[in-house]
Structure 1
Amino acid sequence: MKKVLLIRLDKIGDLICTMCVDQVSFLKDRDVHWVISKGLGFVPDNADPKRKYLELSKEDWKTSLQSLRSFLKDFKPDVAVSFQAPWWVSYALWAENVPVRAGVKSQWHSFLFLNRGLRQRRSQAVQHESDYNLDLLLHAFRVNEEITQEKTPELKLVAPMNPELLAKHGLISGKYVVVHPGMAGSALNWPIAKYIEFIVEAKKNYQIVLTGTAADEPWLKEIKERFAGDSQVLSLQNQLKATELFTVLKNSKAVVVPSTGVAHMAASLGANVLGIYSPVRVQHPRRWAARGPHVRIFMPHSQDQDNVDPRCMDEISVEDLLKALSSL
């Protein structure tokens, strides 16, 4: 099985938690390609090593199905592993006679079109998302995990050198803290008042940089209003391309961020990450924590993972994050 196709049509954080697994030893001499969501090419382009990939849109699935089938005809993979993808991806693998079609046994198409499915109860969150992905890859190749002793790798991302960008915004490497409070709402977040309290204290020693997209406005609006006209708080919302965000994250003193894709990006870049996480079982850092060399996790204590009061996020203290920041 020399030609391998790995598929994850999902968000940034999910992709980072998946792309790392192609670094296992038994894929070393194989020709590996990825299929990823349209617009996320900056992840494999800035990974070390770079990955080969095909971008597809889940929204325009008819066009994407044609593109995928055309790619399969040319590439002729020996094995394809679908970590997460809609039905038409499984169909394309079957229609183009890919010999080994692996994936999670869950939705109807996985039973109909895949021939090497694996039951996984990821909602139980007994291990990290990357570990689940490695288990699926091992299953696809029928590799015995106990024999190989493979450990789940971590994805390494490389930020472009861009001193002009930092100079443009008056940023000095190591002298500012990135606060990225926004998220898609897939997990409990720190209250906005806590972010504001943290910024009030942290800006005494560091410049604060707010990042986010238009979708993060519900989280950023009140923060921006509170610090309007404050020279110590700079908003770069909607002003950075993905690779520019990489540079800003990498050169920061620390990144304060909830469970979202930016946490995974910052961790993979080797930045100091102060990650804010929910104790809810399906949102738990045991499954979704950002993985990197300098990650610290903050989460409410003593919570029933299946019966969580959202107000528990107030328990994460500003003082604990400030202590972590001062220790860096």
Structure 2
Amino acid sequence: MRRIIISRTDSIGDVILTLPLATFLKKFYNGDCYIIFLGRLYTKEIINLSNDIDEFADYAEIDKMNMSDAVAKFNSFNADTIIHVFPVIKIAKLAKFAQIKERIGTSNRIYHWLYCNKLSFFSRKKSNLHEAQLNFKLLCPLKIATNFSLNKIRSLYNLDFEALHNEELLKLKDNNKFNLIIHPKSKGSAREWGIQNYKKLIELLPPENFKIFITGTEEEGKLCEELFAFEHVSNLTGQLSLKELISFINIADGIVACSTGPLHIGAIFNKIAIGIYPPIKPMHPQRWAPLGNNVKVFVKEKDCNKCKNKNEKCLCIEEIKPEAICEYLKTIIIRDK
């Protein structure tokens, strides 16, 4: 049985866009492979939802070890192949020292020329492909066709929905209304729409049709307090673990957010997932839109890079009108009646 490590040690959204690789590899090898996902502990709950990932390995624990122990840990995986989806020089070095037979990475990292023995020649930075499509480009050294459509990749999510059941959170749902999650912050990982825009959206959404839940960390909740004053809003900031948040997204009917992990979670659960994006490359939706059957992306179609390298507000994203998102949500309610 072939044993494969998929290495992706960054954020939740990035990990979600990598999960289809595991499902594809399981199918390609007719189930005769064992998939180990090397990631960060805080993404474990998402990784464990995949029915096609056999083992999770916490890179933070390995990173604490001395080099000898870390190599021994890599040896214990008995891996035949490692795919460096998110490049990390130490992981590349450990894989070589552990003498993993096939070590696949992109040619754009100089250290991959030293530590990998199979290179995939493409540039994420210059590509117009979606992040999920770029992940599949790393299979090229395995002589696997890599030109996947987004529709094909969407079909490769094989998730354990039974693990999401949470009776207590289910009690929060109003079955007579559209249960909408608003996740207004991003921990600084994405351009944000602005609290005033979310406030206006809440004002526009009629209480008789919508029950709204604000999610985020406790610290983010302190920045969103003016959103909690509405009668049809419930404040869940700081109250949910990641596992509970994942379960609650599955319970809700839809989510509105910028380019964050919760938006991607909602999308793969086929919820109404409304993403608010900047036009800036490579942050734009062509690269980072969530994958799902009920995704709607709002973006200001213009060529603008004014705030690309600055830690400041994005005027383009803030120009997206709350009225447009409100009207879209109302059409969803009419459609589903």
Q: CA deviation at 1:197?
A: 0.2
Which of these residues, 154, 161, 165, is aligned with residue 165 of structure 2?
Answer: 161
More moved, 279-288 vs 79-88: 79-88
Partner of 1:185: 188
Q: Is 1:195 equivalent to 2:194 in the alignment? A: no
- The alpha-carbon distance between structure 1 residues 43 and 300, as it changes in their structure 2 partners (threshold 3 A), is same
Amino acid at match of 1:225: E
Q: What are the equivalent positions in structure 2 for 1:107-146 lying under 5 Å apart?
A: 107-137=109-139, 139-145=140-146
Partner of 1:211: 215
* Contact 1:11–1:261 (CA under 8 A) maintained in structure 2: yes
Q: CA deviation at 1:4?
A: 1.3
Q: CA deviation at 1:254?
A: 1.4
Partner of 2:45: 42
Partner of 1:100: 102
- The alpha-carbon distance between structure 1 residues 146 and 319, as it changes in their structure 2 partners (threshold 3 A), is closer
Residues 38-89 of structure 1, C-alpha deviations (whole Å, 9 max, x = no match): 222111222244542211218x724286665334323321111111142111
* Contact 2:3–2:35 (CA under 8 A) maintained in structure 1: yes
- The alpha-carbon distance between structure 1 residues 295 and 66, as it changes in their structure 2 partners (threshold 3 A), is farther
Q: Secondary structure at the match of 1:237?
A: coil
- The alpha-carbon distance between structure 1 residues 86 and 182, as it changes in their structure 2 partners (threshold 3 A), is same
Residues 198-225 of structure 1, C-alpha deviations (whole Å, 9 max, x = no match): 011225221210000145x2xx435323
Q: Which runs of 5+ in 1 are unaligned?
A: none
- Please, what TM-score do these two structures have when normalized by structure 1? 0.88
Q: Which aligned runs of 4 or more in structure 1 are off by greater than 4 angstroms?
A: 64-68, 305-309
Q: Secondary structure at the match of 2:6?
A: strand
Question: Partners of 2:174 and 2:291 in 1: how far apart?
Answer: 26
Q: Is 1:70 equivalent to 2:72 in the alignment? A: yes
Q: Secondary structure at the match of 1:102?
A: strand
Amino acid at match of 2:283: Q
Q: Secondary structure at the match of 2:153?
A: coil
Partner of 1:227: 228
- The alpha-carbon distance between structure 1 residues 305 and 126, as it changes in their structure 2 partners (threshold 3 A), is farther
Q: Which runs of 5+ in 2 are unaligned?
A: 309-313, 333-337
Q: Which has the higher contact order (CA 8 A, sep 6+)?
A: 1
- Please, what TM-score do these two structures have when normalized by structure 2? 0.85
Q: Is 1:30 equivalent to 2:29 in the alignment? A: no
- The alpha-carbon distance between structure 1 residues 282 and 131, as it changes in their structure 2 partners (threshold 3 A), is same
Question: Partners of 2:167 and 2:43 in 1: how far apart?
Answer: 24
- The alpha-carbon distance between structure 1 residues 203 and 179, as it changes in their structure 2 partners (threshold 3 A), is farther
Amino acid at match of 2:37: W
Q: Secondary structure at the match of 1:282?
A: coil
Q: CA deviation at 1:113?
A: 0.6
Q: CA deviation at 1:294?
A: 1.1
Partner of 1:257: 257
Identity of aligned residues (%): 25
**Root mean square deviation, CA, Å:** 2.7
- The alpha-carbon distance between structure 1 residues 146 and 248, as it changes in their structure 2 partners (threshold 3 A), is closer
The alignment of Structure 1 onto Structure 2 pairs a total of residues equal to 319
- The alpha-carbon distance between structure 1 residues 209 and 163, as it changes in their structure 2 partners (threshold 3 A), is same
Q: Is 1:313 equivalent to 2:317 in the alignment? A: yes
Partner of 2:311: none
- The alpha-carbon distance between structure 1 residues 145 and 208, as it changes in their structure 2 partners (threshold 3 A), is closer
